[in-house]
Amino acid sequence: MGVLTNLPLLRAERKLTQAELAAAVGVSRQTVNSIETGRFEPSLSLALKLGRFFETPVEDLFALA
Protein backbone atom coordinates (compact mmCIF):
# COMPACT_ATOMS: atom_id res chain seq x y z
CA MET A 1 0.00 0.00 0.00
CA GLY A 2 1.52 3.33 -1.08
CA VAL A 3 1.10 6.87 0.13
CA LEU A 4 -0.45 9.71 -1.85
CA THR A 5 0.59 13.30 -1.34
CA ASN A 6 -0.46 16.73 -2.51
CA LEU A 7 2.95 18.12 -1.76
CA PRO A 8 3.58 19.21 -5.37
CA LEU A 9 0.38 21.30 -5.34
CA LEU A 10 1.18 22.95 -2.03
CA ARG A 11 4.74 23.65 -3.14
CA ALA A 12 3.53 25.16 -6.43
CA GLU A 13 1.03 27.38 -4.59
CA ARG A 14 3.89 28.90 -2.64
CA LYS A 15 6.08 29.11 -5.74
CA LEU A 16 8.83 27.07 -4.15
CA THR A 17 11.37 24.89 -5.90
CA GLN A 18 12.09 21.40 -4.65
CA ALA A 19 15.52 22.60 -3.55
CA GLU A 20 14.01 25.45 -1.50
CA LEU A 21 11.55 23.14 0.20
CA ALA A 22 14.32 20.62 0.84
CA ALA A 23 16.50 23.25 2.47
CA ALA A 24 13.59 24.42 4.62
CA VAL A 25 12.94 20.96 6.10
CA GLY A 26 16.54 19.72 6.16
CA VAL A 27 16.58 17.04 3.48
CA SER A 28 18.00 16.73 -0.03
CA ARG A 29 16.17 17.87 -3.14
CA GLN A 30 16.21 14.23 -4.25
CA THR A 31 14.29 13.23 -1.14
CA VAL A 32 11.62 15.85 -1.83
CA ASN A 33 11.35 14.60 -5.40
CA SER A 34 11.02 10.99 -4.25
CA ILE A 35 8.28 11.96 -1.78
CA GLU A 36 6.37 13.89 -4.43
CA THR A 37 6.54 11.02 -6.92
CA GLY A 38 5.38 8.55 -4.28
CA ARG A 39 8.57 6.48 -4.30
CA PHE A 40 9.61 7.37 -0.76
CA GLU A 41 7.41 7.49 2.32
CA PRO A 42 8.75 10.05 4.79
CA SER A 43 9.25 9.27 8.42
CA LEU A 44 6.78 10.67 10.95
CA SER A 45 9.19 13.41 11.98
CA LEU A 46 9.75 14.54 8.38
CA ALA A 47 6.02 14.41 7.67
CA LEU A 48 5.41 16.59 10.75
CA LYS A 49 8.12 19.02 9.64
CA LEU A 50 6.43 19.31 6.25
CA GLY A 51 3.08 19.83 7.93
CA ARG A 52 4.52 22.55 10.15
CA PHE A 53 6.18 24.23 7.17
CA PHE A 54 2.99 24.30 5.13
CA GLU A 55 0.88 25.00 8.26
CA THR A 56 -1.24 22.02 7.31
CA PRO A 57 -2.18 18.87 9.24
CA VAL A 58 -0.22 15.82 8.18
CA GLU A 59 -3.47 14.09 7.23
CA ASP A 60 -4.03 16.80 4.61
CA LEU A 61 -0.55 16.31 3.22
CA PHE A 62 -0.50 12.53 2.99
CA ALA A 63 -3.08 9.80 2.55
CA LEU A 64 -2.99 6.07 2.13
CA ALA A 65 -3.43 4.96 -1.45
Partner 1 sequence: MVEITHGGLWFRWSLLGRTDKWLAGTSCVAGCLASIPVAFLISELSHEAGRRVAGSHSPDSPGALSLDPIVAWASVGLLAISALLWWRFSVRQDEMFNRIQNWAIGMAGGWIIALLLPWTFLAAAGVLGPPPPLIVFFICLIAPSLFWYAAVHRWAS
Q: Which residues of this protein are in contact with partner 1, per CB under 8 A?
A: 22, 26-31, 34, 39-40, 42-43, 46
**Residue from 1, 58, 53, 8 nearest 35 by CA:** 8
Minimum distance from CB of 22 to partner 1 (Å)? 7
Q: Which is nearer to partner 1, 6 or 31 (CB)?
A: 31
> What whole-number distance in Å separates Cα of residue 59 and Cα of residue 48?
10
Continuous H helices in 1-65: 7-13, 18-25, 29-36, 44-54, 58-61
Q: Which is nearer to partner 1, 13 or 30 (CB)?
A: 30
Q: Which is nearer to partner 1, 15 or 39 (CB)?
A: 39
